[in-house]
Amino acid sequence: MRQREGQHHKSLSLVKYPARGLLKRTKRVETVTDSLRDTMRTMVTTMYSNQGIGLAATQVGIDLQIVVVDAGDGILKMINPVIVKRDGTDVMDEGCLSVPQTVVRIKRAKVVTVEYLDEWGKRMCKTFEGLTARAIQHEIDHLNGRLIIDYLPWYKKMITIRHLRYV
């Protein structure tokens, strides 16, 4: 049986709403290092151990533009990801590891083209669709300090925020 990447790594603690770090824009990565690759492997472990399909560095208390995603097509590791093209629309319910017991119906692009650096610092430009595209958009939102509750109408957001205090 093949071991999943990251299984031998420790897991990081999840940062949960209303932690301030989730609400701010993260810093660009200037240099890709072994330490950064190790952090990404640990993020993958953390994502799997929490049954997630994506994780942004800000969700584990790291103020950098790093995202890991595995929506069924294998592990994607992205540094400084930027969506350069969006096509189509799709509406779906989304949850978030950092916003427990909350589901929000969100309209997103069905297909996205993303420019990013891979874990070796190589410049990439790839197009994603379906659940992978949705997960990438969700994680990039995190890098910009945006959460799923920000898609709610203000009154539903207030009710949800009140509820989250007791989760």
Selected catalytic residue, list 94, 115, 129, 139: 139
94 carries an active-site annotation: no
Helix/strand/coil (H/E/C) assignment for every residue in the chain: CCCCCCCCCCCCCCCCCCCHHHHCCCECCCCCCHHHHHHHHHHHHHHHHCCCCEEEHHHHCCCECEEEECCCCCCEEEEEEEEEEEECCEEEEEEECCEEEEEEEEEECCEEEEEEECCCCCEEEEEEEHHHHHHHHHHHHHHCCCCHHHHCCHHHHHHHHHHHCCC
Residues noted as catalytic: 139
